[in-house]
Every structure is written in structure tokens, then in C-alpha cells.
Amino acid sequence: MRHEDIEVKVARTGSQVKEICLNGDHTVQDALDAAGLNVKASEEIRVNGETVDTDYELEDGDRVVLAKNIAGGR
């Protein structure tokens, strides 16, 4: 467990961005909990544009976005 505070931004595509300060653990799930967001089955989690899962460790300044999962197609 980390003890330093970090600040991250959390948003669902098309929604307002929330600035979150995390102390203690710094996982995506911690940030989502602090922002009051749950991942929908039709969404994927992206941190700074890369797809990750909820146990991904965040760094200060990261941007977490819940985006619609676009599968296949043209």
C-alpha cells in the first residue's frame, strides 16, 4: 500500500470530469469508488488511452475514462 497522495481525473465518456485525490491505495477501482462510478458491462476502462483493468496502479496525473466498448466492425 502506498501512502503518498495522488490526484487523478475520472470520467465516463460524455460526462463531467471529476478530480479525485487518492491517499492509500491507488488502483483504478479506488478511483472509481471515490468518483461514485461503476463500470457497465458495455464499457472498458482506459488510463491515458490504454485499456486496463480495475487493479491497475495509478500514478499522479493519470486520467481514467470509462468508454463504450467498441468491438470489431468497420
What CA–CA distance (Å, rounded) separates 37 from 48? 18
Contact between 27 and 58 under an 8 Å Cβ cutoff? The reply is: yes
Under CATH, which architecture does the 6-68 domain have?
A: Roll (3.10)
Q: What is the pLDDT of residues 16-71, one digit of tens each?
A: 999 999 998 899 999 999 999 999 999 999 999 999 999 999 999 999 999 998 76
Cell of 60: 499522479
Q: What is the pTM of this model?
A: 0.88
